[in-house]
Structure 1
């Protein structure tokens, strides 16, 4: 069923804003952007730029804002499907800000924890790879959101597929990281599993509950 194109001014502005963010990152960092788009196929990007990572990187910052806006759009589409017209388009920014604060605070806590446990080197690599894969998801979500907004009204199956693709990419990034650091994890596999449950699963479940219950 084709979607009725009405009252999508804010959605269109957000889509255009995402396109602008990607265009700026592409034109300002052409070589890095090209290598970034191949993130799923080789580790060249991670190997090259892990050494130069900073707390705030302009390239990563542009893609991070694109990610937040696209997640906001996806959450809006998902909640609109369940609650029909009770969700305001302005709530997209609320979701984006909430998720952005969640991610930033989580990263700060992980860096603090790595400093306390004296495992900064390995956690820095992990965070860089995780941030890179999240930003890559932001690129994929832009055309997906455009289809969901302008083409047809999605059903539950469509959302299951989209969320499954996101999870597969995140787990693939985790698999690559563990594979490349297997010797380190062999010594503390149990603690790593506890870390995943405590800092990579439970917080997102809480965030989901907060958004859905509003």
Structure 2
């Protein structure tokens, strides 16, 4: 799975070298978001490759965490497939629902730019997780402290993306603050809590 992730990333860089170099600096530089948000398409090959890596890397990391807490030593291909499929479906459903809301409220352009920012930061997470997964699998035995550090690192990336989006649309958010809070609760916080409760109950 690590090899597949590296191949996918290599293909992304090979097909769009300049865009990939801009993408790597997205965490501290909004240049990528400003330039490529205008050029985005519904089906974008570059984003599709990075999204593929995100699904693989996130699935592998999730299984490593699961294996740590359950002391599972053998990776089941069937379980990995179900995990990857579940993560992929979850993310895509969220994107489609948000696009539907944007269409119903006639704010398609704003939603498209907002989703581009969110997806870009999520894809960046996939990039970060490649070396993390490699270390966890081949370098040393994972510890609870290490997992906490990694989770905090991932949250920093997500929060950075959220702050960037808020800054970009702060004037619009001020005039629709109630709807913004409602959106955060319904489409950002609630799904995470539901998934957490599902896994904890098991």
Q: If the length of structure 1 is used for normalisation, what is the TM-score?
A: 0.89
Q: Write the distance in 2 (CA, Å) between the matches of 1:116 and 1:129.
A: 21
The counterpart of 1:203, out of the listed 168, 191, 194, is: 191
Q: 1:89 to 1:149 in 2, by over 3 A?
A: farther
Structure 1, 59-68 or 196-205: larger mean CA deviation: 196-205
- 1:171 equivalent to 2:162? Answer no
**CA distance, structure 2, for counterparts of residue 87 and residue 53 of structure 1:** 41
SS of the residue corresponding to residue 31 of structure 1 reads helix
In the alignment, structure 1 residue 74 sits paired with structure 2 residue 73: no
Partner of 2:142: 154
Which of the residues 35, 58, 79 maps onto 1:48? 35
Structure 1 residue 130 corresponds to structure 2 residue 129: no
Q: State how 1:7-86 maps to structure 2 within 5 Å.
A: 14-85=1-72
Whether 1:121 and 2:112 are equivalent positions in the alignment is no
Structure 1 residue runs of 5 or longer lacking an equivalent are 1-13
Match 2:82 to one of 71, 85, 94: 94
Conservation of the 8 A alpha-carbon contact between 1:133 and 1:169 = yes
1:24-81 superposed Cα distances (whole Å, 9 cap, x missing partner): 1011110000000010121111111111212221100001010001001111111101
Q: Distance in 1 between matches of 2:112 and 2:80?
A: 31
Local SS of the residue matching 2:71? helix
Coordinate RMSD, CA, aligned: 1.5
Deviation string 1:128-154 (CA, Å, 9 cap, x unpaired) is 000000001100000000001111121
User: How much has 1:121 moved relative to structure 2?
Assistant: 1.9
The secondary structure found in structure 2 opposite 1:85 is coil
Unaligned runs of 5+ in 2: none
Aligned counterparts of 1:52 and 1:190: Cα–Cα separation in 2: 31
